[in-house]
Amino acid sequence: QLQLVESGGGLVQPGGSLRLSCAASGFTFRYYAIGWFQQAPGKEREGVSCISFSDGSTTYADSVMGRFTISGDNGRKTVYLQMNSLKPEDTGVYYCAARPGACSKTSTSFPRWGQGTQVTVSS
C-alpha cells in the first residue's frame, strides 16, 4: 500500500544541480520519516539526508552539508532533495525510503523503499 517513487536523476557536470523528488502514497505522511540514500558504484548504501514529518527535524550527511537541502510538501506527499555543487562522489543510485517516526542513518531501519533514480556527476 505504501509506495515511494523517485524521479529527477540525470547526468550533470561537476558543480551542477539536480532536484530529486520522492512521491509517496498509501500512508499518513506526518507519522513518517523519509530518507534519501545513495548507493555509489561498488559501495554500500549510505544515508544522505532525512526529514521527519513527526517533528519537522532534518538530518544531513557531513559530505553533503551545505550543498544539499531536503524539504517536504505534506499536501503533495512529496519529499525533495535539492542537490547543488554536485561532485563526482555524489554519483550513484538515489533511493528514498520511509520509516515510522524519527530519522535514522541506518538503511535497514527503513522498511519501505522506492525503485531508485540514477545520478551521474561526470565531466
Start-to-end CA distance of the chain, whole Å, equals 40
Q: Is residue 57 pLDDT above 90, yes or no?
A: yes
Cα–Cα distance between 111 and 123 in angstroms, integer?
Answer: 36
Sign, CA dihedral 8-34-65-122, equals negative
Closest CA relative to residue 43, chosen from 115, 123, 107 = 107
Q: Is residue 69 pLDDT above 90, yes or no?
A: yes
- Rounded (to 5) percent helix, strand, coil in the chain: 10, 50, 40
5-35 confidence digits (pLDDT tens): 999 999 999 999 999 999 999 888 788 999 9
Mean pLDDT over the full length of the chain: 95
Cα–Cα distance between 81 and 37 in angstroms, integer?
Answer: 11
Per-residue pLDDT, 28:
81
What is the grid cell recorded at 71?
Answer: 524539504
- Cell 519529499 sits on residue: 79
